């Protein structure tokens, strides 16, 4: 009963972003799926394929067959140790290949055959020891190569790749190069712009020729031994293009540092000296700017600075950015930054400062100032008074407890102020009018318990206010006055209750709000009845609302007009509210809704009328809602729905009507439901594999919940061919049957028509005879007529002219005739039966016309039943003309009687007529016993 389907839009353990119909966007993600080989059912028009973090050990030719549109391939973090030659030959459009974090030991040219458009090649974090000559020359468009952290031991091994005429960036850090000398590389100029040689144990580093005229970035971080390395640049012109130098983590002495920096004198603009392994860092600062007068960016992270003195940056007049983060700074000289008139960026986060340093108070050019995660307790009004050009100020992660209106004065250009993760208990008075250009204010993760009236009155340009994770239980009326440009108000994870929003109009002044987050508060309602004061009535422009995860027992009930006023709402997060029903009018106020999350509720079913006003819904999340069926969606008219997620419910079957009601569905996620493994799901299983538009996410993980004997079996393994009606087979059988029946009927009609007609009437005669005999079984029969005359109306002239005169007038017999003796109004067949059984004999006047008459056939059949079934000799056959035996064939009994019984033939002369009438008279006088009369029997022998 179980089988594994092989193909379809569903891809085992992969998710697909995009549609099979659009080749420019299809992205297939198969990472972290325990694959041991490349999936074979990747759509041929895939643009991006990610099969990283699996257990693939080798790549063979054909693994990527027909993927001619593939542009990006990520196979990193597998166990690949072998690449078969030509494995990538079909990937003619590939421009980025990531093979990092594998087990490759050598590289050969055949591995990359066909990758003519490859631009970026990442081979970092392998075990590569050797590179075959010519490997990279076939990659004619190669611009970036990463060979970091391999087992290369000589720079000569990378000579060929360095000489690639299109190469711009090469990363060979983390190998085992003991020296670097341009003499080993090339005699001609190279096009390399970025050279990463970090994490190599250099003993010496020599640039003795100008082979790097285009070099801009040189990274020597964490290189050399504990004693540093020998540095030699014969002519500073050989590195005249270098603008950015990384020396992070190096063990260089003061003289060595001087030598290195002097090689870049008057050219270097960015210098990174993070985490230097030196005890004389203070000395480095003294010479750095002296040697590098054009230095713009200086990074000194994680160097264990405790304090910085006055003259340590005195020559750094051109500095624009300084990063002193992650040190142990406790104080700075007040004059430290004096004269740095171009300094615009200063980062002193993650230090031990207890107050805003005086050294920063007069950097009037400063635009970005990061003081986060220090130990600042108090802010003074003069701390930032002179920083009039400041645009970004980060004070998050300190221990500030109080914010007053006098702080931040003169910060007329400040746009972003971050005060999150402090201990702020209150904001006293309106914030400074100087903050008129502030656009983002972050106060998340503090201890605020209320927001007072007019607190943000002067923040006229504020667009985002973040108050998440405080202890706010009260919002005074007018709390948000002045915030007419506010677009996002984040109030999640506080202690707001229903009363907060019903007693006062808390949203006065923020009618232009686009986003409101009030998740994880304490809102709850007793029923779904209409609210007299809907909380969001004034928020006509709101697009995004989160009310999910309310505390205590949850929202419990969703008032039918809770969303009244939200005519522009597009996205609603209402999960984990512990609601068990939705009023039909719940979303009648949100006609623009396109995203709805109702997950983690107790909605065993939903009234389809709930969705009558949200026909534009494109994404619907119903995970963990205890739903037993999704059939309510059939009548919901959600024809624009593209994403439906219903994980971890109680769904058993998905029917065809449900899927057809969602014509634009692209993603269907129904993982962890107890599906029924029987024919009720046959259509859904087949559709999941074959439908080119909708992807059933991780369909291969769907398990059976019923019947018990199949529990935990994979739904995809169910064999459905026994459930599907084969229309083609039915059509074949039907058409074959129809043709056969038509042929048989035609044959019978042509060859056996009279036999059938005879048989039909024979059956009727038998039935009538049985009926008559049953009715007269106990009665003694008295005959009314001597003979019933059975004839065709076309033979009536002979009957009237010849038969009646001779038998009635001359012989005195009483005859029963159709036209004379049948009772008017009685059914013909009844008249025939009664007349036959009221007569001693039945005389059949046989002619060709007689044989063609339906009624004559019935008469002779009834008479024959009396002859054969009652054992009475009552039948006299009179032939008016010669009739071939073949004409009698359809009348089996008649033919049999003609062969075995007496019959008379009308003669052609007068002498014969006298004998005919005599013999007929004798036949009428004969007794009814069924035995042969020698005289009568001889009548047919002429």
* CA-to-CA dists, residue 852 to 760, 792, 858, 901, 903, angstroms: 15, 9, 11, 22, 20
Rounded Cα–Cα distance for residues 366 and 389 (Å):
6
Rounded Cα–Cα distance for residues 32 and 735 (Å):
53
CA torsion angle for 912, 915, 920, 923 (degrees, to 10)? -140
Rounded Cα–Cα distance for residues 235 and 256 (Å):
17
Q: Which residues pair with 778 in a beta bridge?
A: none
Other CB atoms within a 10 A radius of the CB of residue 152 amount to 21
What whole-number percentage of the chain has pLDDT above 70?
A: 89
3-state secondary structure 45-96: CCCEEECCCCCCCEECCCCCCCCCCCCEEECCCCCCCEECCCCCCCCCCCCE
Q: What's the pLDDT band for 749 if we cut at 50, 70, 90?
A: confident
Rounded Cα–Cα distance for residues 148 and 126 (Å):
8
Contact 168, 144 (CB under 8 A): yes
| DSSP 8-state assignment for residue 267 | T
Backbone angles phi, psi at 910, to 5 degrees: -65, -40
pLDDT at 3: 30
H or E segment to which residue 749 belongs: helix 727-751
pLDDT at 942: 35
Would the pLDDT of 937 be above 60?
no
Rounded Cα–Cα distance for residues 897 and 920 (Å):
17
Would the pLDDT of 496 be above 90?
yes
DSSP string, 538-592: T-TT--EEE--S-STT---S--TTTTTT-TT--EEE--S-------TTTTTT-TT
pLDDT at 21: 61
pLDDT at 929: 47
pLDDT at 40: 86
The pLDDT tens digits of the residues spanning 751-779 come to: 766 566 556 655 665 665 566 565 555 45
Q: What is the mean pLDDT of residues 464-477?
A: 95
Other CB atoms within a 10 A radius of the CB of residue 852 amount to 13
Extract long-range pairs of 151-155: CB within 8 Å, 24+ residues apart: 151/105, 151/127, 151/175, 151/176, 152/128, 152/176, 152/177, 153/129, 153/177, 153/178, 154/184, 155/179, 155/180, 155/181, 155/184, 155/185
Q: What's the pLDDT band for 8 if we cut at 50, 70, 90?
A: very low
Would the pLDDT of 930 be above 90?
no
Q: What is the mean pLDDT of residues 214-225?
A: 95
pLDDT at 89: 92
Cβ neighbours of residue 379 closer than 8 Å, sequence gap 6 or more: 356, 395, 400, 403, 407
pLDDT at 769: 59
Cβ neighbours of residue 437 closer than 8 Å, sequence gap 6 or more: 412, 413, 414, 415, 461
Contact 658, 631 (CB under 8 A): yes
The pLDDT tens digits of the residues spanning 146-195 come to: 999 999 999 999 998 999 989 999 999 999 999 999 998 988 899 999 99
First to last CA, the chain: 80
H or E segment to which residue 440 belongs: strand 440-442
Q: Which of the residue ranges 1-5, 208-212, 717-721, 872-876 would you say has the lowest mean pLDDT?
A: 1-5
Rounded Cα–Cα distance for residues 343 and 357 (Å):
16
Q: Which residues pair with 120 in a beta bridge?
A: 96, 144
Q: What's the pLDDT band for 941 if we cut at 50, 70, 90?
A: very low
Q: What's the pLDDT band for 673 if we cut at 50, 70, 90?
A: very high
Give the angle subtended at the CA of 826 by the CAs of 816 and 858, to the nearest 5°.
60
Extract long-range pairs of 236-239: CB within 8 Å, 24+ residues apart: 236/262, 236/263, 236/264, 236/265, 236/267, 237/210, 238/182, 238/207, 238/208, 238/209, 238/210, 238/211, 238/212, 239/207, 239/212, 239/215, 239/263, 239/264, 239/267
What six digits make up the tokens of 178? Answer: 């003991």
- Tell me which of 3.30.1450.10, 3.40.50.10140, 3.40.190.10, 3.40.605.10 is the CATH number of domain 755-940: 3.40.50.10140
- Tell me which of 3.40.50.300, 3.80.10.10, 3.30.70.1450, 3.40.50.720 is the CATH number of domain 243-376: 3.80.10.10
Backbone angles phi, psi at 474, to 5 degrees: -135, 130
Rounded Cα–Cα distance for residues 63 and 35 (Å):
13
Look up tokens 């109680």; give the residue. 650
Give the angle subtended at the CA of 475 by the CAs of 550 and 492, to the nearest 5°.
35
Q: What's the pLDDT band for 866 if we cut at 50, 70, 90?
A: low
Contact 121, 94 (CB under 8 A): no
* CA-to-CA dists, residue 316 to 184, 298, 313, 339, 488, angstroms: 37, 9, 5, 8, 41
Rounded Cα–Cα distance for residues 771 and 651 (Å):
64
The pLDDT tens digits of the residues spanning 334-390 come to: 999 999 999 999 999 999 999 999 999 999 999 999 999 999 999 999 999 999 999
Rounded Cα–Cα distance for residues 679 and 725 (Å):
11
Domain extent listing, the chain: 243-376, 755-940
Q: In terms of residues, how long is the chain?
A: 942
Rounded Cα–Cα distance for residues 795 and 811 (Å):
21
Would the pLDDT of 934 be above 60?
no
Q: Which of the residue ranges 312-316, 776-780, 797-801, 830-834 would you say has the lowest mean pLDDT?
A: 776-780
DSSP string, 138-194: T-TT--EEE--SS----GGGGHHHHT-TT--EEE-TTS--SEEEGGGT-SS-----E
């Amino acid at each position: 009963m179980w089988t594994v389907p092989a193909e379809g839009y569903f891809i085992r353990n992969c998710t697909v972003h995009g549609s099979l119909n659009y080749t420019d966007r299809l992205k297939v993600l198969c990472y972290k799926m325990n694959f041991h080989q490349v999936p074979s059912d990747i759509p041929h028009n895939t643009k991006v394929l990610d099969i990283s973090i699996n257990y693939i050990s080798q790549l063979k030719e054909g693994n990527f067959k027909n993927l001619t549109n593939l542009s990006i391939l990520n196979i990193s973090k597998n166990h690949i140790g072998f690449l078969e030659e030509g494995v990538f030959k079909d990937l003619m459009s590939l421009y980025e290949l990531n093979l990092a974090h594998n087990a490759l030991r050598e590289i050969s040219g055949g591995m990359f055959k066909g990758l003519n458009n490859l631009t970026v090649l990442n081979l970092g974090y392998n075990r590569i020891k050797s590179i075959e000559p010519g490997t990279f020359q076939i990659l004619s468009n190669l611009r970036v190569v990463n060979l970091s952290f391999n087992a290369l031991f000589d720079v000569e091994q990378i000579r060929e790749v360095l000489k690639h005429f299109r190469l711009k960036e090469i990363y060979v850090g983390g190998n085992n190069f003991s020296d670097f000398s341009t003499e080993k590389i090339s005699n001609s100029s190279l096009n390399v712009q970025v050279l990463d040689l970090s994490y190599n144990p250099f003993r010496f580093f020599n640039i003795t020729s100008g082979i790097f005229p285009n070099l801009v970035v040189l990274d020597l971080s964490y290189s050399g031994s504990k004693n540093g390395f020998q540095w030699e640049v014969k002519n500073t012109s050989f590195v005249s293009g270098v603008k950015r130098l990384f020396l992070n983590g190096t063990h260089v002495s003061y003289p060595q540092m001087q030598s290195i920096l002097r090689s870049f004198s008057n050219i270097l603009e960015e210098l990174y000296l993070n985490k230097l392994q030196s005890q004389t860092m203070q000395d480095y600062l003294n010479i750095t700017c002296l040697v590098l007068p054009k230095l713009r960016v200086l990074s000194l992270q994680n160097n264990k600075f405790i304090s910085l003195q006055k003259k340590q940056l005195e020559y750094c007049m051109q500095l624009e950015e300084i990063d002193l983060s992650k040190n142990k700074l406790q104080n700075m000289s007040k004059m430290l930054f004096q004269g740095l008139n171009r300094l615009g960026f200063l980062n002193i986060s993650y230090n031990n400062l207890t107050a805003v340093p005086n050294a920063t108070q007069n950097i009037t050019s400063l635009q970005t100032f990061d003081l986060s995660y220090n130990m600042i307790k108090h802010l003074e009004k003069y701390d930032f008074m002179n920083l009039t050009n400041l645009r970004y100020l980060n004070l998050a992660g300190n221990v500030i407890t109080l914010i007053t209106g006098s702080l931040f004065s003169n910060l007329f250009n400040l746009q972003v102020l971050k005060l999150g993760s402090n201990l702020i208990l209150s904001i006293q008075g309106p914030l400074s009018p100087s903050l008129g250009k502030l656009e983002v204010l972050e106060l998340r993760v503090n201890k605020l318990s209320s927001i007072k009236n007019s607190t943000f009155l002067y923040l006229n340009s504020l667009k985002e206010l973040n108050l998440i994770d405080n202890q706010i239980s009260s919002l005074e009326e007018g709390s948000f006055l002045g915030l007419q440009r506010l677009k996002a108000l984040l109030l999640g994870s506080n202690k707001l209750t229903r009363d907060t929003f019903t007693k006062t109009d808390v949203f006065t002044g923020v009618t232009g709000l686009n986003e409101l987050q009030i998740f994880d508060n304490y809102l709850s309602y007793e029923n779904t009845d209409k609210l007299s004061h809907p909380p969001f009535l004034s928020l006509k422009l709101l697009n995004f609302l989160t009310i999910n995860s309310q505390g205590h027992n949850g929202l419990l009930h969703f008032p039918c007009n809770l969303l009244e006023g939200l005519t522009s709402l597009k996205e609603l997060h209402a999960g984990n509210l512990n609601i068990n029903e939705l009023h039909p009018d719940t979303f009648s106020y949100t006609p623009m809704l396109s995203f709805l999350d109702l997950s983690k509720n107790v909605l065993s079913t939903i009234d389809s009328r709930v969705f009558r006003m949200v026909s534009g819904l494109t994404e619907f999340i119903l995970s963990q809602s205890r739903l037993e069926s999704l059939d309510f969606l059939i009548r919901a008219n959600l024809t624009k729905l593209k994403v439906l997620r219903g994980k971890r419910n109680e769904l058993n079957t998905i029917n065809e009507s449900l899927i057809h009601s969602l014509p634009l569905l692209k993603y269907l996620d129904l993982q962890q439901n107890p599906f029924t493994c029987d024919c009720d799901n046959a259509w859904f299983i087949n559709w999941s594999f074959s439908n080119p538009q909708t992807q059933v996410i991780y369909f291969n993980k769907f398990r059976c919940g019923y019947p018990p004997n199949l529990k935990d079996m994979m739904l995809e393994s169910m064999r459905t061919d026994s459930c599907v009606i084969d229309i083609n087979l039915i059509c074949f059988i039907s058409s074959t049957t129809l043709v056969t029946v038509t042929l048989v009927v035609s044959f019978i009609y042509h060859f056996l028509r009279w036999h059938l007609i005879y048989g039909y009437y024979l059956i009727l005669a038998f039935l009538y005879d049985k009926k008559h005999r049953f009715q007269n079984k106990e009665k003694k029969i008295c005959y009314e007529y001597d003979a019933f005359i059975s004839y065709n109306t076309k033979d009536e002239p002979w009957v009237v002219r010849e038969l009646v005169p001779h038998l009635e007038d001359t012989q005195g017999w009483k005859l029963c005739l159709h036209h004379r003796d049948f009772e008017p109004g009685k059914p013909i067949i009844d008249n025939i039966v009664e007349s036959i059984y009221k007569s001693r004999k039945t005389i059949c006047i046989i002619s060709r016309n007689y044989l063609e008459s339906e009624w004559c056939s019935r008469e002779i059949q009834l008479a024959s039943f009396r002859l054969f079934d009652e054992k009475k000799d009552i039948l006299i056959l009179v032939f008016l003309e010669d009739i071939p035996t073949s004409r009698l064939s359809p009348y089996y009994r008649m033919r049999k009687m003609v062969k075995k019984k007496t019959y008379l033939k009308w003669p052609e002369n007068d002498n014969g007529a006298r004998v005919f009438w005599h013999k007929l008279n004798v036949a009428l006088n004969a007794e009814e016993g069924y035995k042969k009369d020698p005289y009568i029997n001889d009548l047919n022998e002429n």
